[in-house]
Amino acid sequence: MHLDQKVSLKAFNTFGMEVEARYFVEAKTHSEVLTLLNYRHMIHMPILFLGGGSNVLFTRNFGGIVIRISSKGIAIREQDETHVLVTAEAGENWDEFVQYCVNNRWCGLENLSLIPGTVGAAPIQNIGAYGVEVKDTIDSVQVVEIDSGKQRRYTNEECGFGYRDSIFKQELKGRVIVLNVTFKLLKINSQASLSTPPPSHSSANPHLFKLDYGDIRPELDRMGIQVPTISDIREAVCNIRRRKLPDPAEIGNAGSFFKNPVIGSDLLVSLQQSFAGLPCYPLPSTPGTAKIPAAWLIEQCGWKGYRSGDAGVHPDQPLVLVNYGTATGLQVLGLANQITDSVYQKFGIRLETEVNVIQ
C-alpha cells in the first residue's frame, strides 16, 4: 500500500467534483483493509471509505484519509442443479459482475444492469431498478467492524433491507466495512425463456423474472424479441438506461439523487383530489402506503431541464442532478435543497436524498 498526499478525487467520484483528499490509499485485499483499520487507531483525523464514488457528493476537500476499497475476486461457494451461491469482493465493478453472471446464465441481477458503483455498495443502498432490488438475490454480506477489526457475516434477514435502505445505512453506518457479498442466483440454460420460468422455479423462490416493469417489454418488442433470454433482458435494460440516463463519463452525476417517497393513504387521497393524474404504486408489503415517483413531483414543480451555471437537472430525467463541468458540490446541494423545498410546498412531501453528501 502507498499513502499519497493531496490527491485529487475528481476521478474517484462520478459527479466529477474537483476536490482533494489530504491523504489517499487503496486497499486491494482483506488483509490490507485490516492493516489500515489497525493504523487508524494511531491517527486523529477523519477517515472516509470509498468504493466506486457513484453515490457521493463532495462539497469540500476531505481533510483526512480516503481509503478506496479495490478488492477483486469472484468465486462460487456452492451450487446445485438449480442455484448457485457466488461471492464477489467489494471492489468489483457492479455492472461487470452483472455481465459475468449473465454470461454464466445465472439469473436474478439482469434488471440491475448498468447501475454504476461497486459490489460493496450494492447492499448498503439496496440498489434497485425495473422491479428488482438487490436484496432479492443477496444470501449474505461479510463485513469487518471498524473499531474491533472483527469480521462477521450478516444473513439476508439480518441486513434489515428496506427501500434504498439497510442496516448498513442505519445502525451500522460508519461502524463496518463491507468486504464481500454472496448472491443466490437461479441457473438457467441458454434456451430458457425469462417470460416462462423453468419447472424448478416455484413461488417460494425469491428470484422472480421481471419483464413488465417500466419499458422492458416495449424495448424487447422494439428489438424484435418475443421469447427473450437472460442476455436479451440485460441488453434491453442497458438500452433503456443509456437513453434515459446521462453517462457519468460525459456529464457528472450520481444517478438518482432522490428517493421515490412513500406516503400514507390519507395524504394520497388528498393529493389525488388536488392533482389529477398523480401516479402512485401501492406497496403490498406495507398496506395503506404507496410510492410516488419523485421524478413526477420534481417535473410538476418546473425543475426538469433547469440549469444554473454548471449545476442542473437533467432534461430527460428530473431525478438526476448533473454537473455540466465546473459546478461545485455546494452548488449542486443548493439546487437539491431548492427542489426539496418546492416539492414540499406544493405537495407536502419531503424528498429524501439517495446520495451521500460529504459536508
* C-alpha–C-alpha distance, residues 348 and 339, integer Å: 13
What's the whole-number average pLDDT of the chain? 90
In the CATH scheme, what is the code of domain 252-358? 3.90.78.10
Q: Which residues contact 336 (CB under 8 A, 6 or more apart)?
A: 257, 258, 321, 353
Lowest mean pLDDT among 93-97, 138-142, 219-223, 244-248: 244-248
70 and 31 in contact (C-beta within 8 Å)?
Answer: no
Which pLDDT does position 284 carry in this prediction? 77
pLDDT bracket for residue 141 (50, 70, 90): very high
Which pLDDT does position 299 carry in this prediction? 97
Query: Residue 260 gets which letter from DSSP?
Result: P
Q: What is the pTM for the complete model shown?
A: 0.85
Cα R_g (the chain), whole angstroms: 21
Residue 138 phi/psi, 5° resolution? -80, 130
pLDDT bracket for residue 192 (50, 70, 90): very low
Sequence letter at residue 293: P
Which pLDDT does position 199 carry in this prediction? 35
Which pLDDT does position 91 carry in this prediction? 95
CB atoms within 10 A of CB 324: 15
Average pLDDT of 221-230?
93
CA dist 213 → 180, 225, 237, 268 (Å): 29, 17, 11, 22
Beta bridge partners of 62: 21
90 and 143 in contact (C-beta within 8 Å)?
Answer: no
Average pLDDT of 213-242?
93
Here the cell at position 296 is 413526477
> Alpha helices, DSSP H only, in 130-247?
216-222, 230-244
- Asked whether the predicted pLDDT for residue 87 surpasses 80, the reply is yes
Here the cell at position 210 is 421481471
Element of type H or E holding 176: strand 176-187
Average pLDDT of 1-21?
94
Question: Maximum distance among all alpha carbons in the chain?
Answer: 61
| Domain at 4-69, CATH class | alpha beta
Which pLDDT does position 244 carry in this prediction? 87
- Asked whether the predicted pLDDT for residue 191 surpasses 60, the reply is no
Tens digits of residue pLDDT in 17-55: 999 999 999 999 988 988 888 776 666 788 899 989 999
Beta bridge partners of 311: 308, 323
Tens digits of residue pLDDT in 276-318: 899 998 887 778 899 999 999 999 999 999 999 999 999 999 9
* C-alpha–C-alpha distance, residues 303 and 343, integer Å: 10
Show which residues are catalytic. 164, 256, 354
Choose among 115, 110, 114, 59: nearest CA to 231.
110
> Alpha helices, DSSP H only, in the chain?
30-40, 94-103, 121-125, 216-222, 230-244, 265-274, 294-300, 329-347
Which pLDDT does position 189 carry in this prediction? 62
Which pLDDT does position 36 carry in this prediction? 85
* C-alpha–C-alpha distance, residues 74 and 232, integer Å: 23
Lowest mean pLDDT among 158-162, 193-197, 321-325, 329-333: 193-197
CA atoms within 13 Å, Cβ hemisphere of 226 = 0
Average pLDDT of 144-171?
93
- Asked whether the predicted pLDDT for residue 193 surpasses 50, the reply is no
Domains of the chain, residue spans: 4-69, 72-244, 252-358
Beta bridge partners of 72: none
| Domain covering 72-244 assigned CATH 3.30.465.10 in the classification | yes
Choose among 180, 207, 199: nearest CA to 109.
207
